[in-house]
Amino acid sequence: MKLGIVGLPNVGKSTLFNSLTKAGAESANYPFCTIDPNVGIVAVPDERLGMLAKLYDSVKITPAVIEFVDIAGLVKGASKGEGLGNQFLANIREVDAIVHVVRCFEDPNVIHVDGSVDPMRDIETINLELIFSDLEILERRIAKTSKGARMDKALAKELELLNKLKGYLEEGKMAKGFETDDEEEQALLAGYQLLTYKPVIYAANVAEDDLADDGNGNPFVQQVRNYAAQEHSEVFVICAQIEQEIAELDEEEKKMFLEDLGLKESGLEKLIKASYSLLGLISYLTAGEPETRAWTITKGMKAPQAAGKIHSDFERGFIRAEVVNYQDLLDCGSTAAAKEKGLVRLEGKEYVVKDGDVILFRFNV
C-alpha cells in the first residue's frame, strides 16, 4: 500500500517525509529499507504489539507497514508538461491514496511560490493540475469509445458516463465527488485510475504555536477544514518542523516532549493510523516466542486469504483458524487461560477476520 505526498514547493513535504521515514525506521526496529530516496517504508504504530510480545516473551516484533512516496515538483502547469510535470503526475497515478500537504504557517524566511500564504489557492492550484490530467485521460478514452459506441450498447453506455464525468471535472470538481447509484458505472469509474478519484488526506502544516488547540485558532486551518468537509476528506493538523525534531528523539524523550506540548501522540502517528484506515486496512496479529507480528489485510477479507498473507501454503492448505480477540487474550494472560474460558474460537473458511484478532492457522501441507 502506497501513499503519495503532494503539495506545492516549500510547503513542508520533504520535512514531513523525512520525519515519517526517520520515525518509521526507528520506532519498531523494522528492517528499514530505502528503495529509492523518495520512498520510505513506515511502521504503523500499534501498541497491541508490545503488550502481546511481553505476554509471549517474543524475540522480535514486526509491525504492519505502509509506503510513503515524496512526490515533489508538482507546480502550476504540470499537466501541460511544465517542470517535470507529467512525470510527477505519473507517479501519483501509482499510489493508493494522497496526502496533500498545505502550508498554513507564516514564516518570512520560507518563500512561498505564489508570494503569500493562502491554502485555498494552493489546494486549488494542485487539484486543478490533477483535474487537467484526468481530463486528458477522459478525452482519450472518449475518442476510443466513440468509435464502437454506435454498434455496441455497453460502449454507448460507457460513452455517456465518460461525457458526464468530463462535464463534472470541467466544473473544477474532483471525480471522487461524482455520485452514481449504477454499479456498472461505479466499477468503470474505479477502473479509470483517475487522480482525482483517489482518497485524500489534507495535512495542514501549521506553526508550533497552533498545535496545542489543534489549529482551531488558525483561520487557514478552518478554511482547509471547510473545503475538505465538502469532498468528505480528512484534515490533519501537523507541524512538520516539530515532527522532524521529535523523530530525532528516543522513546523517553519523545514522551516528555509531547507531554510538554500537551499531546498524547505525535501528529505523525495520527497521520499514519489515519492513512491506514483511509485505505480500508486492518491488522490481525500472530504471537509467539520467535515473533509477534501484525499482518495487513483489507476489511472484509476471509480467513484463508488472510492466512495467505503469511504464506500461500497457508491459504491453499487452510483447515481452520484458532482465533482469540486481542483484549480477551490480554485479560486472560495466556492462550491456555483463554481456551479454558472458551474465548478461543475455531473458525472456518467463511470467517471474516477482524481487526485485533490474534490467530493461529491450522493447515495441510
If binding is defined by CB under 6 A, does position 13 make contact with ligand GDP?
Answer: yes
105 binds ligand GDP (CB under 6 A): yes
Q: In angstroms, what CA-CA distances link 269 with 210, 238, 264, 274? A: 18, 11, 10, 8
Nearest to 205 by CA among 229, 221, 222: 221
Burial class (CB in 10 A: 0-12, 13-18, 19+), 341: exposed
Alpha carbons within 13 angstroms on the beta-carbon side of residue 181 total: 0
Which one of the spans 11-19, 81-89, 128-136, 327-335 is the region binding ligand GDP (CB under 6 A)?
11-19
- The answer to whether residue 205 forms part of the interface with ligand GDP (CB under 6 A) is yes
- Segment interacting with ligand GDP, rule: CB under 6 A, options 124-132, 151-159, 237-245, 280-288: 237-245
Q: Interface with ligand GDP by CB under 6 A: which range of 13-21, 189-197, 224-232, 303-311? A: 13-21
| Residue 21 found at the interface with ligand GDP (CB under 6 A) | no
Of 105 and 284, CB closest to ligand GDP: 105
What is the enclosing helix (H) or strand (E) of 322? Answer: strand 318-325
Q: Where are the alpha helices (DSSP H) in 94-218?
A: 119-149, 153-170, 183-191
Name the DSSP class of 332: H
Q: Does 146 bind ligand GDP (CB under 6 A)?
A: no
Counting contacts by CB under 6 A, is residue 38 touching ligand GDP? no
Encoded one letter per residue, x for contact with ligand GDP by CB under 6 A and - for no contact, window 55-74 reads -----------------x--
Near ligand GDP by CB under 6 A, which window of 4-12, 114-122, 247-255, 341-349? 4-12
**Burial class of residue 17, CB neighbours in 10 A (0-12, 13-18, 19+):** buried
Interface stretch with ligand GDP, choices 102-110, 117-125, 175-183, 293-301 (CB under 6 A):
102-110
Among 6, 15, 65, 266, binds ligand GDP (CB under 6 A): 15
14 binds ligand GDP (CB under 6 A): yes
Backbone angles phi, psi at 288, to 5 degrees: -175, 180
Q: What is the DSSP letter of 352?
A: B
The whole-angstrom separation of Cα 285 and Cα 51 is 12
Residue choice 239, 272, 278, 329 for contact with ligand GDP (CB under 6 A): 239
**Among 34, 77, 107, 255, interactor with ligand GDP by CB under 6 A:** 107
Of 170 and 209, nearer to ligand GDP (C-beta) is 209
Q: Does 241 bind ligand GDP (CB under 6 A)?
A: yes
85 marked ligand binding residue = no
Q: In what order do the strands lie in the sheet with 2-6?
A: 39-43, 65-70, 2-6, 97-103, 200-205, 234-238
Candidates 4, 7, 24, 356; binder of ligand GDP (CB under 6 A) is: 7
Q: How many residues bind ligand GDP (CB under 6 A)?
A: 17
- Check the annotation: does 15 bind a ligand: yes
11: annotated binding-site residue? Answer: yes
Cβ-proximal residues to 331 (8 Å cutoff; 6+ apart), any chain = none
Instruction: Tell me which residue has cell 469532498.
Output: 231
Q: Which is nearer to ligand GDP, 16 or 272 (CB)?
A: 16
Q: Which of 1, 2, 9, 257 binds ligand GDP (CB under 6 A)?
A: 9
What are the C-alpha distances in Å from 333 to residues 54, 133, 326? 10, 55, 11
- 182 CB-side CA count, 13 A: 10
Query: Which H helix or E strand runs over 20?
Result: helix 13-27
12 among the known binding-site residues?
A: yes
Binding residues for ligand GDP, rule: CB under 6 A, are 7, 9-15, 72, 105, 107, 110, 205, 207, 239-241
Please state the residue numbers annotated as binding site for ATP. 10-15
